[in-house]
Amino acid sequence: MTLYVILYSIVNDTKISIERKNSLKVGLSVYGEIIAPVFDSSSNIEIIEINNGEVTSRKLYTVDQADILDFFLKSSIEVLICGAISRQLESQLSAYTRVISFICGNKEEVLSRLLRGWNLTDLLMPGCRQNRFRKGCIAKNNISKGVIRMPRGDGTGPMGSG
């Protein structure tokens, strides 16, 4: 039985955990031939079924964002690969599927790397390559704007109005 490797979205010290499986249902958030840059505004999900390391079926769905959670619940997608995604939506989708976010590039290249068990870190969006997943990206956001800490140091904001 051929096994292939799928990458988790959980990043620890820039290393991605690995799980071996022989069948998988993958959802790609797509815009034309590329991974959609922002999942929250994307309406196209390509579902790819993989068995023993080979693609057995592919189908493109147009999904209204208001129905996205129902779609994932009904379609039993095990892994979603997408571009940027809001924290709230990622948290909600994580109840149904593993989310690999901040991936960019051609969807065929992403699928090829997935089937070969190659690391997807080369396809991370710019700015997400140096251990900046969620915790790091969000925490460094204020630093990039020149704010090291709130002026009072108590989190109430410059004028005391949070």
pLDDT(152) > 70: no
Query: Do 28 and 55 share a domain, yes or no?
Result: yes
d(CA 128, CA 11): 11
Q: In this predicted structure, what is the pLDDT of residue 156?
A: 59
Confidence label for 129 from pLDDT (cuts 50, 70 and 90)? low
Query: Do 57 and 116 share a domain, yes or no?
Result: yes
Q: Which of 11-15, 16-20, 55-59, 104-108 has the lowest mean pLDDT?
A: 11-15
Q: What is the CATH number of the domain that holds 100?
A: 3.30.420.130
Query: Do 83 and 146 share a domain, yes or no?
Result: no
Confidence label for 1 from pLDDT (cuts 50, 70 and 90)? very low
Query: Do 142 and 73 share a domain, yes or no?
Result: no
- Sequence-distant (≥ 6) Cβ neighbours of residue 104 within 8 angstroms: 34, 35, 37, 83, 123, 124, 125
Domain count, the chain: 2
Query: Do 138 and 121 share a domain, yes or no?
Result: no
CB 72 within 8 A of CB 89: no
Q: Range of 70's domain?
A: 4-127
pLDDT(15) > 80: no
Digit-coded pLDDT (tens) for 45-77: 999 999 888 899 999 999 998 999 999 999 999
Query: Do 59 and 107 share a domain, yes or no?
Result: yes
pTM of the model as a whole:
0.70
Q: In this predicted structure, what is the pLDDT of residue 127?
A: 80
Query: Do 148 and 84 share a domain, yes or no?
Result: no
